[in-house]
A = this chain, B = another copy of it.
Amino acid sequence: MSEKINIGIIGAAGYTGGELIRLLLNHPNVELKLVHSKSNAGKLLSDVHGDLVGETDLKFDGPELNFDSLDALFLCFGHGESKRFVSEHQIPSSIKIIDLANDFRLSADSSDGGRKFVYGLPELNRELIKKSDTVANPGCFATTIQLGLLPLAQAGLLNRVYTTGITGSTGAGQSLSTTSHFSWRSNNIQAYKTLTHQHLGEIHQSLHQLQDSFPDLSDKKLENAQISFVPWRGDFTRGIFISSQIETKKSLSEIEELFFRFYDDHPFTHISKEPIALKQVVNTNKCLIQLEQTGSMLVVHSVADNLLKGASGQAVQNMNLMFGFEETAGLKLKANYF
């Protein structure tokens, strides 16, 4: 086995930070060197991430940061804080950065001083990611919606898309709020950010990259969005289920052929001929896609785990590509399934 690289995680007390720790503790090519949380400095990781009891005796670093000896840094901040962090710290250029927030995802925002962030969706940008030192990890809804539409965009078949998606409570982070209270959320469903979700920008940007006629929404005018997206809060903790409706004159078998070809050499995205269900992918880095058609109306269903393929798992996948590791290293996870 090759020598291991040294990894740091900043903001490691949240959900995505916790998932990164879980993944990287078992990753064959890395060593966790820096696990930073300002508010938990000195505590055991397992005091915050209770499943780590018996797994590790590591403690949270902090408050001051030491980048020495690091090869890569994951930023697990809330949105907006990554940009500030990068500008306020002298991160050696030898350290590769993967940002899990939305600070660098849009092309217009992706430069920070000398560094240009690549949008880290391997199914779209794998070769770019391999050559990049700084990657902006996609959003969870953005990942699951895009993976259901990329092959259509590549074939120039996209027009207006009507999308409904449902997400688990971990998508909203650890903070306490009315809608994260168990008594409220249990057995409940609610729409939120109807037609205005913040991932619409990155989704349009990616689809435009493959189909020039599709708007990139860089003007940020939501009334021009071609994805009409209604997100729902679900009464479960993990996972995203998407159904997108789109008109097409192509037959189902032609469309399926496009999808099979597009994802043929991508290890985590699979087309299913059978009905798909959320729990097939929970606690894995996979995305499953199913296609159905009646008349000229095509429906694309796609599912992913918002914390893995939608966040920390994809971040590790990006790290694997950036360092030349096996793309699936550390990501062959046992689904809990039930």
Contacts and interface: CB of A to CB of B under 8 A. Distances in A.
A270 B181 CA distance: 26
A325 interface: no
A189 B279 CA distance: 8
A26 B228 contact: no
Interface string A179-217: 011111111111110111000000000000000000000
Contacts of A184: 182, 277, 279, 338
Contacts of A272: 53
B280 A50 contact: yes
Contact of A278 (B190, B196, B281, B284): B190
A93 interface: no
Interface in A291-334: 292-297, 299, 301, 303, 307, 332-334
A298 B301 CA distance: 23
Contacts of A166: 166, 189, 232
B296 A223 contact: yes
A201 to B, nearest CB: 14
Contacts of A276: 50, 190
A81 interface: no
B245 A295 contact: no
Contacts of A238: 187, 336, 338
A257 interface: no
Contacts of A49: 337
A191 B301 contact: yes
A336 B275 CA distance: 24
A241 interface: yes
Given A281-B51, A294-B223, A338-B15, A275 B187 contact: no
A230 interface: yes
Interface stretch (A72-80, A99-107, A147-155, A168-176): A168-176
A303 B292 CA distance: 26
Nearest to A235: B236
Contact of A182 (B181, B267, B278): B181
A235 B237 contact: no
A18 interface: yes
27 contacts: A15-B338, A26-B334, A50-B280, A51-B335, A53-B270, A164-B243, A166-B189, A169-B182, A169-B183, A169-B186, A170-B338, A176-B176, A176-B180, A184-B338, A186-B338, A187-B238, A189-B236, A189-B239, A194-B243, A195-B292, A228-B297, A230-B245, A230-B299, A235-B236, A283-B334, A333-B334, A336-B336
Given A164-B164, A224-B295, 10 more contacts: A15-B338, A54-B267, A164-B230, A169-B182, A174-B183, A187-B237, A187-B238, A187-B278, A192-B275, A336-B336
Interface of A: 15, 18, 22-23, 26, 47, 49-51, 53-54, 162, 164, 166, 168-170, 174, 176-177, 180-192, 194-196, 222-225, 228, 230, 232, 234-239, 241, 243, 245, 267-268, 270, 272, 274-284, 286, 288, 290, 292-297, 299, 301, 303, 307, 332-338
In the A-B complex, the 10 residue pairs with the smallest Cβ-Cβ separation, listed nearest first, are: A223-B295, A164-B164, A176-B176, A51-B335, A162-B162, A195-B294, A54-B270, A283-B336, A189-B241, A190-B277
